[in-house]
Structure 1
Amino acid sequence: YYHHYASQDGGERYDGGFGRQGFGPGDGAGQEEDLSDLFSDLFGTRQRSGGGAYQEFHARGPDLRYQLPVDFLEAVRGSKKSVTMPDGKHIEITIPAGVKDGQTLRLRGKGAPGYGKGSAGDALVTIAVSPHPVFTRDGDDIEIELPITVDEAVLGAQVDVPTILGSVSMTIPPGASSGQRLRLKGRGIKRGKTTGDQTVHLKVVLPKKIDDTVRGLAEQWREASTFDPRADIRRKT
């Protein structure tokens, strides 16, 4: 029956189900040309004369990631560090003043080489700031805990206070207490046109060994004074 049907005038030859809309020679050529345009747009390739295989693959090189340990003072002041890249080249990295722990710096063109005529990628350097034994940071402000003696707290004093740019003289007012905060204006981190402050937290510290003089003064104070540092707590509870 199939042979009889296919041989009749006007009969359609069986083509496996695709009919005349199947993948004929003309259709395949058009498809190849379309793919050529697609890859050329995506990857910057070009064909040999007359078509055929692709040549000259151009693409930007991948970015490379690094972690750079930075000292606390280097981070808050700003600095320059020399680092060795994987290809053996030495480059100098500028650490901007006030850079934060975990912040990433982008070095244009310092990543992996590009493909063909593609440009090199970037180096992404993540900053790892080490803590400082004295200073801590709150935004652009610097904080420090400053030990003072009993007589400095009672009588007041002029003392040297370390800052991120060197020591400065600060006045402790008479009657200062542990936990009291004093502010050094403009002694914090400078970024652009703004500069933070430094907050000094006072901490009254007694000597480990109390001598007879200190003990005698404390006993006289206890007998003569009516000061109660816990009175406010009792009123609120």
Structure 2
Amino acid sequence: MNKKKLPLKVLKALEPFVGMQGELFTIEHPGNNLLLVKDKDPNSKFYYTIEKHQIRDGKDIYSVIFAPKNDKEVGAYSTTIGADDITTTFNSWVLFLENYSKVKSFFDDPILESYQAEFFSNFEFVDEHAETNPFQTAEILQLDYLLEHVSTRLIELSDENNREANEVIVAEIAFIRESLTNRSQKWVVEQISNIYAKIAKQGVPFIKEFWAEGKKELIKIGIKALIESAQNLIS
């Protein structure tokens, strides 16, 4: 959609979301919508969308749909709001994400979360705009090569005990590879951390297999933070 097809007041109402970063959500390309925000959790169906704008009785009205609806229902809820209510409804939606991240349940995987945190904590981004900037094209090509290799080896190492888990990882790797050119450095590293966390859960042989090879490829990329992480995990 061309921005000059929208009223200036609509663009100004949406401007606070441009470049917005969150620990629990990502601002996606809206497509045919005006705004699309998704839960960062790849297993989540939670989202916040402003679908369209219209004038009703001389007032600006925005059609909004989001999930979860409230703390009793996880399904989607649609409503119409004024421009002044956009921030309020969005912040309420983010609060749901925060509460979900804090609540403890039997469905949590503390071991996986620990590996994710360990991998990601080693990264120190050289680019101060890592939350918004993509990797450079040469780095993207090397990351794609690395991810392709990991995917191929996972398939080769699959057996009746790990095939289902590996198929999930391979599907997630495919999504990351498709997203390398239009996602931020931080997002990419978060997703790679998640991949290697799932690999680590399969045992020491898998850590040795993938991190040893990963180190070589990451050195080619020349990303200081990633190299240091790989060295720390292998040494």
TM over 0.5: no
TM-score by length of 2: 0.20
Q: Say which structure is richer in strand.
A: 1
Q: Give the helix-richer structure, 1 or 2.
A: 2
Q: Please, what TM-score do these two structures have when normalized by structure 1?
A: 0.20
